[in-house]
Amino acid sequence: MSLLVADQLSKTYKSTGWFRSDQSADQGVHHISFTIESGSCLGLLGESGAGKSTIGKIILGLLAPDSGKVLFQGVDLYAASRSQRKELRRDLQVVFQDSYSAVNPRMTIKQIIGEPLRNYERLSAKEEIRVISELLEMMGLRADDMYKMPSQMSGGQLQRVNIARAIALKPKLVVLDEPVSSLDMIVQKQILLHLKELKEKHGFSYLFISHDVMAIHTLSDQVAVLDNGTIVETIDAESLFDTVHPSCQRIVGAKSSDQFEGFVF
Ligand SMILES: Nc1ncnc2c1ncn2[C@@H]1O[C@H](COP(=O)(O)OP(=O)(O)OP(=O)(O)O)[C@@H](O)[C@H]1O
Ligand SMILES: [Mg+2]
């Protein structure tokens, strides 16, 4: 059984107000289908406004589609009972682009990473410190960073904290919505390599959303290319640069190789 099945998902945003036009009336995503197997990463590649975050929110159970289904471990996400949903949420975590707005600035790093643990697991104070230290070290941070406030960390360090929080409960699937896009190239590379290592060592599965072909190529096993709300091609990451599909070629070719000189993984 696939870990996640997206089956013919459609979501149209109804435009309202003075600027309503026919063009904006059908913004959204249309007949989106894909599967994610356990332990693998599906990249969702598309330009700004293509509908990537809309799909991410539907998969996370945050935005009900107009039609279609999400099956997570065989359970229909939008038909699940309240208690089923609580269990599913534990296995379905997210990391967003903006590391600072994803955290409460008044909480310590220990409180931030400890939040899901306290919601779902009963650990002693000593156990919690051990688990949080381990998570920080897994992400290349120091254990005593847990006593810092978010304002005392760089964007890249704080994004590692967000990833540590997302993996604290060992979820089955992590949705990564542009997790490195606001960081500089070197930090992007380090964090992508960490995510890759976590996947290989601990068998995490990802839906990795990005507009960046090289980042998608680095982390994904398969890539779904999204254009204007529709998946135009699903392809092995290795074959991404060989695509013959015209709109894929446009999206994949949008970044010339010389722009990425030195960005070798
Ligand atoms: N809440 C909303 N109400 C109306 N339209 C929306 C809403 N959210 C998104 N849209 C529109 O739906 C389309 C897809 O948006 P979405 O945020 O999914 O794109 P995206 O691929 O994530 O873009 P980006 O790379 O810029 O984050 C866009 O045209 C956007 O303007
Ligand atoms: Mg987005």
Domain limits, the chain: 4-15+26-101+172-260
pLDDT of residue 46: 95
Report which protein residue has its CA nearest ligand 1's atom 14: 51
Closest by alpha carbon to 59, among 14, 20, 91, 13? 91
In degrees to the nearest 10, what's the CA dihedral of 200, 206, 212, 218? 10
Nearest ligand 1 atom to the CA of 211 is 25
For residue 260, give Cα distances in angstroms to 104, 122, 192: 35, 46, 15
Beta-ladder partners of 9: 32
pLDDT tens, position by position, 76-120 = 999 999 999 988 999 999 999 999 999 999 999 999 999 999 999
pLDDT of residue 254: 64
How many whole angstroms separate alpha carbon 162 and alpha carbon 116?
12
How many whole angstroms separate alpha carbon 196 and alpha carbon 191?
9
* Structure-token pair, residue 202: 């601990």
Nearest ligand 1 atom to the CA of 226 is 21
- 29 C-alpha to center of ligand 1: Å? 9
pLDDT of residue 264: 46
pLDDT tens, position by position, 135-144 = 999 999 999 9
Nearest ligand 1 atom to the CA of 229 is 14
pLDDT of residue 104: 96
- Ligand 1, residues at Cβ distance < 6 Å: 13, 27-28, 46, 48-54, 211
Phi, psi (deg, nearest 5) at residue 4: -140, 135
pLDDT of residue 226: 96
Query: What is the residue-level pLDDT of the chain in tens, covering all 265 positions?
Result: 999 999 999 999 987 666 655 555 568 999 999 999 999 999 999 999 999 999 999 999 999 999 999 999 999 999 999 999 988 999 999 999 999 999 999 999 999 999 999 999 989 999 999 999 999 999 999 999 999 999 999 999 999 999 999 999 999 999 999 999 989 999 999 999 999 999 999 999 999 999 999 999 999 999 999 999 999 999 999 999 988 888 888 888 865 444 444 444 4
**CATH number listed for the domain at residues 4-15+26-101+172-260:** 3.40.50.300
pLDDT of residue 247: 84
Q: Is 149 helix (H, G, I), strand (E, B) or coil?
A: coil
Neighbours of ion ligand 2 (CB under 5 A): 53
- 135 C-alpha to center of ligand 1: Å? 33
